[in-house]
Amino acid sequence: MITAASLQNPACPVPRTAGPRIQLGHGSGGKMSAQLLRERFLPRFGNRYLDELGDGALVGVQGAEVVLSTDTFVVSPLEFPGGNIGHLAIHGTVNDLAMMGATPKYLTVGFVLEEGLEVALLDRILDAMQGAAAACGVDIVTGDTKVVDRGKADGLFVNTTGVGFLRDGFRPGPRRAAPGDAILVSGPLARHGMAVMAAREGLAFEADIESDTASLAPLVESLRAAVGDRAHCLRDATRGGLASALNEIARASDVGILLTGQPPVPTAVEAACEMLGLDPLYVANEGVLVAFVSSDAEDAALAALRAHAAGAEASLIGHVTAEHRGLVALKTGLGGTRVVDMLPGDQLPRIC
């Protein structure tokens, strides 16, 4: 029989996620990632810039406001339908800068190459980076290359760090979502994660699923022009998917989030997720943003997003509420409500 005493001093032999070693789940973007950040990094490095936990940091450099962001890219396979790691490395950092409201300007790149990597593959990745950087209007201004023994890296790892500049009072931030805000999502979900998984596992689906990797900077620029600072908060829904992005904002802004509209998922992606026992709300995107805009800006913001190919299917998915602070809830088709929680680690496929 269970007693209060036994609960306070559990003799349970069950393990904790906080084991003595790093697990893959620590890189999932879910609760284990957040725990690692909270318990290991922030206590040591915490300062007024880092503690904001934005996609980048807003710093002052000789009177100018500059946004810095960095991201490291690891993906297997290096090439997948819709792009390669080079596209991700440019778009990822460009998008993080854009989510801070900054216009991306300069990038640095750092490579870890594995002995034995085919030069032809490296060329394709570098071509992708050059093309993506040119399209985004950013210059790669410095870089570094290291080579490690065969087996020590998954072909290659790449880090990009970006610098962008802010414009006239546009300051979206993770703490600024407010009750009443409309929540918009810029496009269909889960394409990147499922495209990579299909390529990795050699799965063939009826319709090709392509990664959505894209620069979101043009969408943000349109939003800025259309609604300005009524766009309170922007986030790209990368690893951990839309659900994790929403949970991060709910906690950072200390608000509740109620989803009432069905986030769009392409038919082929939905079928693939069903088959593999995965929930598209938790699958990674590389070209989808979530925008929290004041309710009077909803229509203008939707129109601004829809003016772009990457935002053509933008839609309203819910609202911010003062209730159930820190939680994301979803209204089901039947009229019930459920919590859309952050996952502990990586999503595990269900047995049957």
Partner 1 sequence: MRYLTEYRDPQLARTLVDRILETATRRWTLMEVCGGQTHTIVKQGIHEVLADAVEMIHGPGCPVCVTPLEQIDRALHLAERPDVIFTSFGDMLRVPGSECDLLHIKARGGEVRVVYSPLDAVEIARANPDKEVVFFAVGFETTAPANAMAVWRARELGVTNFSVLVSHVTVPPAMVAILEDPACRVQAFLAAGHVCTIMGWDEYEPLVKRYRVPIIVTGFEPLDILEGIWMSVKQLEEGRHELENQYVRAVRRGGNRPAQELVGRVFRIVDRAWRGIGTIPGSGLGLRPELAAFDAEVKFGLASIRAEEPAECRAGEVLRGQLKPYDCPAFGTLCTPENPLGAPMVSSEGACAAYYNFGRLHAGSEAVT
Return residues touching partner 1 (CB under 8 A): 2, 4, 6-7, 10-17, 19, 21-25, 31-32, 35, 201, 251, 267, 270-271, 274, 276-277, 324-327, 329, 332-341, 343-345, 348-352
Least Å distance between CB 297 and partner 1?
Answer: 28
* Choice between 236 and 248, CB closer to partner 1: 248
Where does 277-339 have alpha helices with state H?
298-306
Pairing of strands 83-84, 139-148: unpaired
Torsion of CA 50, 168, 229, 299, to 10 degrees: -130
Least Å distance between CB 178 and partner 1?
Answer: 19
| 287 backbone dihedrals φ, ψ, rounded to 5° | -155, 35
* Choice between 25 and 54, CB closer to partner 1: 25
* Choice between 119 and 334, CB closer to partner 1: 334
Taking Cα atoms as reference points, which of 188, 187, 336, 313 lies closest to residue 258?
336
* Choice between 275 and 309, CB closer to partner 1: 275
- Spatial distance between the Cα atoms of 352 and 342, rounded to a whole number of angstroms: 22
* Choice between 199 and 327, CB closer to partner 1: 327
Least Å distance between CB 148 and partner 1?
Answer: 19
Least Å distance between CB 125 and partner 1?
Answer: 27
Least Å distance between CB 11 and partner 1?
Answer: 7
Which residue carries 């995965």 as its tokens?
278
